[in-house]
Amino acid sequence: MSLEKKEFKPKIVAFCCNWCSYAGADLAGSSRLTYPADVKIIRVPCSCRVNPMFILRAFEKGADGVIMCGCHPGDCHYSTGNFYARRRMTLLFSMLDYIGVENGRTRVEWVSAAEGVKFSETMNSFVEKIYSLGENVRLGDLRCKS
């Protein structure tokens, strides 16, 4: 254990739906639109597959920010998945805000398969926000921290 303060490298989890946002991230990649390597993407079939437990789990394990991306409302591959996801996330984020977790640590963005630019811009701005908020101390499992 070192007493020296380490440079803050945030851990950011991005849940992306397979049909729109994951494809949007692929397009960002093939267009060489950069965003920080702090973002790691988990592919889910649909934004409606993202359980609030996954988001809390990420924070528990030390994530500093969690972002969920899905198809634009009305464009869901499964017609209605993102509508349910939208309500779930709105309520969850509101609850996290309510217990004093900085609301910048969570975000939902709708990114279509054609929006590589938007994907990259979204990730850049989200990472920037997390840097400004600093390390997540309020939701982490203290046992994991050294």
Partner 1 sequence: MQRIGVFVCHCGSNIAATVDVSKVAEMALMEPGVVHAEDYQYMCSEAGQAKIAAAIQEKNLTGMVVCSCSPRMHEATFRKAAERAGLNPYMVEIANIREHCSWIHKDVEEATKKAVILMRAAIAKVNLNAPLQPGESRVTKRALVIGGGIAGIQTAIDIADAGYEVDIVEKTPSIGGRMSQLDKTFPTLDCSACILTPKMVEASAHEKINIYTYSEVEKVSGFVGDFTVDIRKKARSVDMDKCTGCGVCQEKCPSKKAPSEFNRGLNTRSAIYTPFAQAIPNVPVIDREACIKFKTGKCGLCAKVCQAGAVDYEQKDEIVTEKYGAIVVATGFDTIKLDQYDEYAYSQSKDVITSLELERVMNAAGPTHGHLERLSDGKAPKEIVFIQCVGSRCSDDRGKPYCSKICCMYTAKHAMLIRDKYPDVNVTVFYIDVRTPGKNFDEFYRRAVEQYGVNYIKGQVGKVIPQPNGKLLVQGSDLLDNKQILKEADMVVLATAIEPNPDVRKIATMLTASIDTNNFLTEAHAKLRPVESPTAGIFLSGVCQGPKDIPETVAQAGAAAVKAIGLLAKDKLLTNPCTAQSDILLCNGCSTCENVCPYGAITYEDKEVNDHGIRETRRIAVVNSALCQGCGACTVACPSGAMDLQGFSNRQIIAEVDAICR
Partner 2 sequence: MQELINRAKELLADGTVARVLGWKGGDLPYNPEPAYFETAEELADFVYNSFCGANLSKYMIEASKLEGKTMVCLKPCDTYSFNQLIKEHRVDREKAYIVGVGCKGKLDIEKIKKKGVKGIESIEGAEITDEADTLKIQTIYGEKSCAYADAMLERCHVCKGKEHMVYDELIGDSKETKDADRFDEVARIEAMSPEEKFAFFQKELSKCIRCNACRNACPACSCRKCVFDSTKFDSSQKANVDSFEEKMFHIIRAFHVAGRCTDCGECSRVCPQGIPLHLFNRKFIKDIDGLYGEYQAGADTTSKAPLTNYTFEDAEPSIVGKRG
Instruction: Give strand pairing partners of 41.
Output: 14
CA proximity to 103, closest of 52, 58, 138, 60? 138
Stretch that binds partner 2, among 20-28, 38-46, 103-111, 119-127 (CB under 8 A): 103-111
Q: Which of 33, 49, 77, 84 binds partner 2 (CB under 8 A)?
A: 84
Decide: is 117 part of the binding site for partner 1 (CB under 8 A): no
Find which of partner 2, partner 1, none residue 127 binds, CB within 5 to 8 Å per kind. Answer: none
Match 């850049």 to its residue by tokens: 124
Nearer to partner 1, 51 or 94 (CB): 51
Q: Are 70 and 85 in contact (CB under 8 A)?
A: yes
CA distance between the termini of the chain: 7
Least Cβ distance, residue 26 to partner 2 (angstroms):
24
